[in-house]
Structure 1
Amino acid sequence: MTGTSNHPEQRVGIIGLGVMGRPMARHLAAAHGSVAITSRRPKHEVIADLTSGTNTPASAFRWNSNASDMATDCDAILLMLPDLPQIRECLEGPGGLLAGLTHRPSQSPALLLVIGSTCSAVGVRQLAADLHERFGERVDIVDAPVSGGEDGAEAGTLSIMLGGTAPSCARATEVLAPCGTPVRLGGVGAGQVAKACNQLVVGATIFALGEASVLAERSGLDLGAMWGLLGGGYASSRLLDSRKERLVTNDDSPSGAIKYLFKDLQSAQEIARDTAVNATLLPTLQQAVLEVINAGLGDRDLSVTKRFTAER
């Protein structure tokens, strides 16, 4: 890693090599010299996926047989898993990350666990409190959900929302900077609150774009010309930029699956209850996403809101 640092060089690992984790692993390997990985899939298959179509050599990825070994091999580990149940499964048991804490040298820094998953802010705070009670200063938690989608992960331009102590977030910033722009927003759970706010805006926007597209087409407008024009006004957004072509061509092939928005909006509802916010849009959007899922369209891209509206 180049540049001035307040911390010694950190040995970095990542668990969760899906749509988002795979390109992030490549950026981490390039910036930090190498990145530790593990998976239930065979090593040769995982390495082939990570190196396919790139200039990243196989030697950039340090293979660990399980999460416990990774806890010994790394100072900081990024978790890009679906949700808290998968995170807890990764932590616990004889092959889990926490088992590896006992094998870390006594002079090693605290193991930094960076939760890049989008999950419940309340759940992340409970997890952090539980780990602190069990392991004290041997482990730190930072939540770091991301926004920018697969395109942002590939380009290394993600918005990364950090929640945790200032020192822990400083460490996480140095780890994650190759993947985008990390910003600390408060204590543990703050990143998840920010992501819930982000998903509220994303949900409202993508349903508006879908409905507006159907209104325009059925009125005989040239949809591409309309969005090209409106994209220069107040209707502009990153989401319109990234989904305009899909809306025009009716391409909702799987990418950022809309079904995950339901979980994200549930987290936002949880925050609304905790903060005594009587939300107007949240319940409506959650019901709309559920209707999309029940229509059998949950695995489609976010732009499926156009098809959903047209067929409703």
Structure 2
Amino acid sequence: MIGLGNMGTPMALNLLAAFPHSLSVTARSRDRAAAVLSAGASWVDTPADVAEASDVVVLMVPDLPQVDELLFGDRGMAETPATCVVVVCSSVSPTGIRATDDRLRQQTEGRMRIVDAPVSGGTEGAAAGTLSIMVGGTEADVNIALPLLSACGTPVHLGPLGSGDIAKACNQLIVAATMAAISEASVIAERSGLDLDALLTLLQGGYAGSRVLETKKDRLVERDYSPTGAARYMVKDLSFAHAAAVETATAAPILDALRGQFDGLVAAGLGDDDLAVIHRYIRDPEQPR
């Protein structure tokens, strides 16, 4: 596995729990891998070494440029004669992942193939092993990856390569819309003198309840925007949803409005905070960080 951040580390620990002493990792420093090394992972020095040691390589990095660097950069995976399935759990462009797969198959004469498997459930789901995992790829390659993905949550094969990332774009549209709606409602309630904690607790028991409200309620009440995942990543995810809407000739006015909100949030210097920071942005959009 490569990509031992807030999501990757708990996923790696779940892999080790299911498959002890079977995980090879690399990172920019050993310190970043300390938790998984202590749990029984093996350290290797380069992405090429990971490929040589593995039948399946899981990547959890920010976006496609980082995936391409790991595959095709200096001491990248494609330099080796290894045969493996590369599972990209990052949220990336569906068309981009298909192009990367074509290049990888050509450079490795088909020895390496990609499965896209973006996840939803946040750091809480990653730690608990309850992620929703949206999978795209050939049936043969997905069948190789499924036992490992099952250690991290519930994987569902949705179609050919790129299907997972289309599903993740749809997921992010719903998450962004829900977070924005909760935040708007919270600002209205606060300015109307309501007890926000009491209100959101009440709403969670009705039709307005959601997983987003459950996990973000306390952050809104306490105005805690410390990051579990950076809000700026929503900009790229919504851009993938926009591309899919254009490709399918789908009018998406809610998506368009959300893109404007999150672009503005990032321009205001709030992009490195938690997704809940849209609450602050709605409350005072003219106040930069």
TM (normalized to structure 2)? 0.95
Equivalent residue, structure 1, for 2:59: 79
SS in 1 for 2:115: strand
Structure 2 residue 55 is matched with structure 1 residue 68: no
Equivalent residue, structure 1, for 2:27: 39
Task: Tell me the amino acid that sits aligned with residue 203 of structure 2.
Answer: L
Structure 2 residue 87 is matched with structure 1 residue 99: no
**Alpha carbons of structure 1 residues 257 and 93: separation in structure 2 relative to 1, 3 Å:** closer
Pick the aligned partner of 1:141 from 99, 110, 114: 114
Supply the distance in 1 between the matched residues of 2:93 and 2:171 (Cα, whole angstroms).
14
Runs (4+) of structure 1 exceeding 6 A deviation are none
Q: How does 1:210-229 map to 2 (within 5 A)?
A: 210-229=183-202
Equivalent residue, structure 2, for 1:11: none
Task: Tell me the amino acid that sits aligned with residue 188 of structure 1.
Answer: L
Equivalent residue, structure 1, for 2:255: 282
| 8 Å CA contact retained: 2:7, 2:126 | yes
| 8 Å CA contact retained: 2:26, 2:33 | no
Which stretch has the larger CA shift, 209-218 or 130-139?
A: 130-139
SS in 2 for 1:137: coil
Structure 2 residue 138 is matched with structure 1 residue 181: no
Pick the aligned partner of 2:241 from 243, 246, 268: 268
SS in 1 for 2:110: helix
Structure 2 residue 87 is matched with structure 1 residue 114: yes
| 8 Å CA contact retained: 2:25, 2:33 | no
Q: What percent identity do the matched residue pairs reach? A: 46
**Alpha carbons of structure 1 residues 61 and 190: separation in structure 2 relative to 1, 3 Å:** same
Supply the distance in 2 between the matched residues of 1:220 and 1:65 (Cα, whole angstroms).
57
Equivalent residue, structure 1, for 2:2: 15
Task: Tell me the amino acid that sits aligned with residue 147 of structure 1.
Answer: S
Supply the distance in 2 between the matched residues of 1:305 and 1:240 (Cα, whole angstroms).
13
Task: Tell me the amino acid that sits aligned with residue 96 of structure 1.
Answer: G
Which stretch has the larger CA shift, 77-86 or 277-286?
A: 277-286
Which stretch has the larger CA shift, 176-185 or 32-41?
A: 32-41
Where do 5+ consecutive residues of structure 1 fail to align? 1-13, 52-56, 105-109
C-alpha displacement of 1:94: 4.2
Which stretch has the larger CA shift, 278-287 or 237-246?
A: 278-287
C-alpha displacement of 1:137: 3.1
C-alpha displacement of 1:222: 1.1
Equivalent residue, structure 1, for 2:140: 167
Superposed CA offset, 1:114-140 (max 9, x none): 000001011011111222333343112
Task: Tell me the amino acid that sits aligned with residue 24 of structure 2.
Answer: A
Task: Tell me the amino acid that sits aligned with residue 10 of structure 2.
Answer: P
Superposed CA offset, 1:47-76 (max 9, x none): 43436xxxxx45x11111101111110000
Superposed CA offset, 1:6-31 (max 9, x none): xxxxxxxx001111001111111111
C-alpha displacement of 1:234: 1.1
Supply the distance in 1 between the matched residues of 2:34 and 2:73 (Cα, whole angstroms).
28
Supply the distance in 1 between the matched residues of 2:130 and 2:261 (Cα, whole angstroms).
30
Supply the distance in 1 between the matched residues of 2:167 and 2:155 (Cα, whole angstroms).
12
Task: Tell me the amino acid that sits aligned with residue 18 of structure 1.
Answer: G
Which stretch has the larger CA shift, 32-41 or 183-192?
A: 32-41
Structure 2 residue 34 is matched with structure 1 residue 48: yes
Task: Name the Cα RMSD after superposition.
Answer: 1.3
